[in-house]
Structures are given as C-alpha cells and as structure tokens.
Chains A and B, each alone.
Chain A
Amino acid sequence: MTFIKAQTDPPNVGDPQSMFTVQYFDEDGNMTIRSGGTRAWRCNNPGNLHRSHYSMSKKRRAIGFARDDKDEYAVYPDKETGREALTVMLRGSVYSPMTLRSALAHYEPKKKDYIDIVADKTGLDPERTIKSLNDKEFKRFWQAVEFVEKWEVGREDFIERWIIAGVHKKRGVIFEYCIRISKGCIWLQKTEAIALASEGRLHASIVHLKNGTAYLRPEYNAKPFELLT
C-alpha cells in the first residue's frame, strides 16, 4: 500500500491538540488513520522535521503536513522516505560542515545533553564534523538522533473506500446502490449512499442540484454505474 496524500485530523476525544491524528490516503482512496504513538511515527517523520522549504520540496517527497495550533510537521509516505529527509539534511550544506556538537546544538538548542546522549550511544568524538563520518559512523549518528526524537508506534485504523458495483433504477431513476465491501455486497438506499459519499467512503462524486436534491455519479474517468436487474 502506497500513501499518496496525508492530512491532519482532530485528536481523539480527551486528547490535547498536540495529539492530532493523521489521515493517510492510498491510490485507491482508502484511508488509514494514525493516532497515539509519537508524532514522529504519526507523521512518518523520524527526525521530526518541520514543514519547510526543504522538508516539503519535491525531492523529499512529502505527501502533506500535519499541524496542531502551533506547529506544522512534514508527513512522508513511509519511514524510509522520512528518514531520507533527515539524513539528506544532515549531509547537506548547513549541517555537514559542523561538528557533531555544534550540529546538535543547532538541531535542538534547548537540549544541552543531546550530544552527550549521541556520543554515548555511538562512541563518536563530538568534535568530528559530520562530513568526516564514514557511512557506518553516519548511520550510528542518525540512529542516535532518531532514538532521542523517539519513535513509538500507536494505533492504525484502516477505512476502506468502497466501490459502487451496481444500481437499481425505478422509472429511469437510481434508487438503490450496490456497494462492494470486503465481505461481499450490500444494497443501500440513495440517501444512505449519498451520506457515505459525503464522508469520503465511496468512490463517487456528489452532484447537488439547484432544487436542493442530490445524486451520485461516477468519479472522473470512471466507468458508468452498472444497471443490475
């Protein structure tokens, strides 16, 4: 499953704003909601990179951003892409000429013992520059950064976006929709189907008429609904 888009969803009842949930959408329109866990996990962003010119650039392949009332964080399709954003940043023009000590003071100025934890976990000399690290040493370095940023898995809920497999018509007007779900098919009245579509749970577009009524039609470029008898 490849996620192509992500956005913030409100926190679960009773949770603070900072515990916002994140909605991920795959190519079929199915939704996965991540809640709980650390923000790094919810955003697939192990370095906790803010939304910025760098973190949201095409090369970094962010699929959206998530926010509470104060901060905005980049959201990546998976952990590997998020990790790549972190490591490319650390190897980039801002960080690579710095010593590990000054790099971590720049990374998080308020955590004075960041370098002590990283030095302790990696055994690297804090006075070495990032660009002097070989690949193995650099891996130990970013793994230690990820450790401090903390990656804790929370809860994932999968919400399938259903397909309209067929319709019933009466005097040329659709009144029932056959919805294909994982365990077979169910028939829904028109109003129920419209309600589902408005929640983004159906592959269909809602058309609102001037007289206040609404109907469903296939998504752009999709086949017409099949009339079942």
Chain B
Amino acid sequence: METTLFILGVNHRTAPVAVRERLAFAEAEVVPALRRMRGTAASVAEAALLSTCNRVEVIGVASEPARAFDEVARFFGTDRSVDLDSFAASLYRLEGREAIRHLFRVGASLDSMVVGEPQILGQVKLAYALAAEAGTVSLVLHRAFHKTFSVAKRVRKSTLIGHGSVSLSSVAVALAGQIFDTLKDKTVMLMGAGKMAELTAHALASLGIESLLVTSRTFDRAVALARELGGTAVPLENHKPYLRMADIVIGSLAVTRPILTPSDLETVLRERRYRPMFLIDLGVPRNFDERLNTLENIYLYDIDDLDAVANKSLSERQREAEKAAVIVEEEVESFARWMRELEIVPTINDIRQSMEHLRDVELERHRAWLTSLPEAERERVERLTRGLVNKLLHRILSGLRGNGAAAPDPLYTAEVARRLLCEGSGALAAAGDDPDDDGEPV
C-alpha cells in the first residue's frame, strides 16, 4: 500500500471568514487537538495542523487518503462542534503531488491573500513545531516540512515576491523613506483618529521619530490617543502654530472642507525655511487641499494615491509569483521522486542483502580451493565476485528507480523484482543449491 501526503482544509478562497473562524484552532489548542485526532482518525499515520486567519488545514500522511479525508473531516466537525454539512463543500482534498505542491505554495506565500507576505512561513514553522510536540510527525512530514522551508527560502532569494509595499501604512512609510533621510529628527502630526491614520502613525513611530503630536475633534480623544501612541495632545482649534514643527502630517478628520489650504501652508513653509513636508491624507472627504502638492517641498498623497502605489506593488508581486511557481514545480518533482524511492527502499535493501548472501555462499563453497591460491589470486577472485554483484545490483536498482518514474505501479515492479531475486521467495534461492554446480574454476 502506497503511503501518500494529503491535505484537507479550508482557506480564504474556499470559505468565508464565518466558516473559517468556526474551524480555527488557537495555538494552545493545536497539540491536544492533534492527539485527539490520532485517537479518532485511525488511517492517518502522520499529521500537522495549520491554523491561521486565512486557513485551517491538516497536512497528513496516510496510505488510504480517501479514508483519511473522511476521518479528518468528521474530526473537524466533532472537535469544533460544527455541522459537517455546513463546511463540507468548502473543504479541499489534495493528495500526492497536489498536496505537496499546495504545502510548498503555502510556505512560499504564493497561496496567501497578500501574495508574498512574510508571516505565513513563521506560521507553517509553528505548525510543524506543534505537531512535533504532539508526536504526530514522522519521516515523511519531517522531510516535507523541511523541504517547505527550503523552498520558501529559495523563492524569497531568487524572486522579488516579498518586495514593494502593499498596505497603505507600509506605502506611507516607504514614501517617507524616499523623502527623508532619517525619521529620528522628524515630528509627526496626527490629525484625527481614523483607524488607518492611527496604524500609519504607529508604523512611523515604531521606526523611531523625534516626536508625535496628536489632535482630534475632541481634546479628550486626542489626549487618550496621545497616551496610547506615546505623543503629545494638541487642541484642534489651536493646531496651526504646531504645523511648522510637523514634517509628516497624517489627516483623517471628518471635514466638509479641506482643513489645510495652500495659503496656510505657504506661511508654514516659510517659517520652516522650506524644509520638506509629507502630507498623508487618509480622510474622505479629503482633509488637505489637493493643490498643496504643487507647492515646493510639499508631497501630498491621498488615500487613492497610496492605494495606487500599493496596487502596483501587488501586481509586481503577482508577476514574481509566476516565476516562483516554476521553482515550486521543480521541488515538487524532486519530493515526489523521494516519496517513490521511500516506497522501494525496503525492497532494495532486501535485494542487496540477498545478493550479498549469494556471494558469501558461493565463496564459502569454494573455500578449500581458494585457500590453496596465492594471496594475490585470492584477492582477485574476491574483487571479481564483488564487482559482479555490484554491477548486477546497480543495474537492477537503477532499473527500479528509473522505472518508477514511468511505470504505473512502481511498487508492483519492485515486488516482482523481489520475488525474482530474493532468497526464499523464488528462483534464485533454488539456484544456490544446484547440485550440478560443482564449483570448478571456470
């Protein structure tokens, strides 16, 4: 029976979040869940559980994947107390090459919602570590996961899959890096407390900035936000004098008319002696007059501009993902070859042993004659027989391995070879006792 890798699960493409969240496992739940699964899913030989916000899947090894799929699906239902029918249609069932390919693609971040995002590899590593802790990993999964890590590394190294900024806040940070040499001596002013604005301010602040000024519709909100982000609150009606200190201004106020106009900033710029300002407008309606971008040393990006930059990076990544797919395909091929060889390893060992044994038997039979020979001659007979056995073995083994690639059932071929060549199971065993073979030197 051929053991094979299988994967059963849901991801962001096959299931809505409402389904995914009900099937999800928290990190602490994974090890006990794997142990429970070993109890209920008898046909699963090895298993790991990968649960992130975008996917829940079991990566396993079984010799009867069809049975394993049923058992694991039922396990999901009972373990998460979810009616099997409610998610059965969202499940993907992959086996063999397809499962290997899927695992490699997940690890290399080709299957992620944001292609190339770096977190997934860490999550796959965690899944492997937890499965190892649960004791549900053995030969095949060890190898499969290590291969996944090396494939991911290779993809990162030889493609630009992780390049470019694809989220609004990372685009804003990257732009700031193209305008300013360092943020260490820069002041950021946050106007309004939109979620995106807060994220962006936080992303900038985490790089180390000189200071953060926070202003909001209500002063209380500004104070709370300033405390949260480690800044100073400024009353909105009194924000103008502070503008001259701000190198980066992030706007997300609810306004009907732009709060910053060219005439405001012309004064500010003069006071700043024309040091550059980066205005990030995340408000809808827009907080900053779009004509501000025409002022010297002012760089204004509104939400659509940032979005456009992010989308360009994203389509860049999609192109790189095609290159990565080629790499994954190569690795799938090499892993599949390893799996096949794994299957015939016992047969190969048997044949080797049997032939070595034959040689020993024959040499033993001719011992009397051999001992009469001078040392050099004896040595030569020794070499001759060993060489013959090795040549034969090599031809048989490479036939088995090479055959495996093309033959519909390599295991069957291996079994035939075993029958033909191994002692106690066929013709050769009898040949060893052939009475006509009197052992005369040829």
Please indicate whether A and B come from the same complex rather than being unrelated chains: no
Give me the interface of A with B, judged by CB distance under 8 Å. none
